[in-house]
Structure 1
Amino acid sequence: MSKQIVTVCLPPCGPDGLRPALAAAMAPFEYDAQIGKPDDEWQGEWDYWYVASGGKEFTVRPGGEDDPLIVRDGLDEDRPPRPRSLCDGGPKALLDLDTGRFAAAREAADAWDAWQAFASTFPPSLPYAHFARMPEARAVEAFEAQPVIRAVRLDPGREERFGFDPVAWFGEDRPDFAARAAADVLPTFALLTVDGRWVEGSSHAHHVRFNAYLDGLPDDTVLVRVLYHS
Structure 2
Amino acid sequence: MGKQRITVCLPPVGPDGLKQAIGQAMAPFRYDREDRPHPGWVGEWSHWFVSGAGCLFDVMPGHEDDPRLVRYDDWTDDPDDLPPSRCHGGPRGILDLETPRAAEARRAGGTWRAYHAFAELHPPALPFHHFAERARTMEPGHAREAAVAAFRAQPLIRAIEADPALEERFSSDPVLYFDEDRETYVARHTAAVLPTPALLTLDGRWVEGGGPDYEQMFNACLDGLPGDTVVVRVLYHS
TM-score, normalization: structure 1?
0.95
User: Sequence identity, in percent?
Assistant: 55
Q: CA deviation at 1:54?
A: 3.1
Give SS of 1:132's match.
helix
Alpha carbons of 1:71 and 1:33: their partners in 2 closer, same or farther (altered >3 Å)? Answer: same
Name 1:30's counterpart in structure 2: 30
| Aligned partner of 2:224 among 212, 216, 219 | 216
For 2:105, give the aligned amino acid. A
Instruction: State how far apart, in whole Å, the 1-side matches of 2:33 and 2:15 are.
Output: 27
Query: Which aligned pairs between 1:73-84 and structure 2 lie closer than 5 A?
Result: 73-77=72-76, 81-84=81-84
Give SS of 2:167's match.
helix
Alpha carbons of 1:84 and 1:76: their partners in 2 closer, same or farther (altered >3 Å)? Answer: farther
Task: Structure 1 unaligned segments of length 5 or more: list them.
Answer: none
Q: Is the 8 A contact 1:119 1:148 kept in 2?
A: yes
Give SS of 2:70's match.
coil
Structure 1 ranges of 4+ moved more than 4 A: none
For 2:100, give the aligned amino acid. G
Comparing 100-109 and 59-68, the one that deviates more: 59-68
Task: Structure 2 unaligned segments of length 5 or more: list them.
Answer: 136-142
For 2:28, give the aligned amino acid. P
Alpha carbons of 1:159 and 1:91: their partners in 2 closer, same or farther (altered >3 Å)? Answer: same
Query: Which aligned pairs between 1:128-143 and structure 2 lie closer than 5 A?
Result: 128-133=128-133, 134=135, 135-143=143-151
Give SS of 1:118's match.
helix
Name 1:104's counterpart in structure 2: 104
Instruction: State how far apart, in whole Å, the 1-side matches of 2:122 and 2:73 are.
Output: 50
Name 2:49's counterpart in structure 1: 50
For 1:223, give the aligned amino acid. V
Q: CA deviation at 1:136?
A: 2.1
Q: Is the 8 A contact 2:52 2:73 kept in 1?
A: no
For 1:215, give the aligned amino acid. D
Q: CA deviation at 1:77?
A: 3.7
Name 2:176's counterpart in structure 1: 168
Q: CA deviation at 1:152?
A: 0.7
Q: CA deviation at 1:81?
A: 3.2
Q: Is the 8 A contact 1:7 1:226 kept in 2?
A: yes
The number of residue pairs the alignment matches comes to 229
Instruction: State how far apart, in whole Å, the 1-side matches of 2:212 and 2:77 are.
Output: 29
Give SS of 2:107's match.
helix
Name 1:191's counterpart in structure 2: 199
Q: Is the 8 A contact 2:127 2:151 kept in 1?
A: yes
Q: CA deviation at 1:78?
A: 7.8
Q: Is the 8 A contact 1:12 1:221 kept in 2?
A: yes
Instruction: State how far apart, in whole Å, the 2-side matches of 1:76 and 1:104 are.
Output: 27
Instruction: State how far apart, in whole Å, the 1-side matches of 2:188 and 2:34 are.
Output: 38
Q: CA deviation at 1:154?
A: 1.2
Q: Is the 8 A contact 1:28 1:34 kept in 2?
A: no
Give SS of 1:121's match.
coil
Kindly indicate whether residue 215 of structure 2 is the aligned counterpart of residue 207 of structure 1: yes
Instruction: State how far apart, in whole Å, the 2-side matches of 1:106 and 1:155 are.
Output: 23
Q: CA deviation at 1:159?
A: 1.3
Instruction: State how far apart, in whole Å, the 2-side matches of 1:127 and 1:76 are.
Output: 42
Alpha carbons of 1:167 and 1:77: their partners in 2 closer, same or farther (altered >3 Å)? Answer: farther
Instruction: State how far apart, in whole Å, the 2-side matches of 1:91 and 1:207 are.
Output: 21
Q: Is the 8 A contact 1:5 1:54 kept in 2?
A: no
Name 2:138's counterpart in structure 1: none
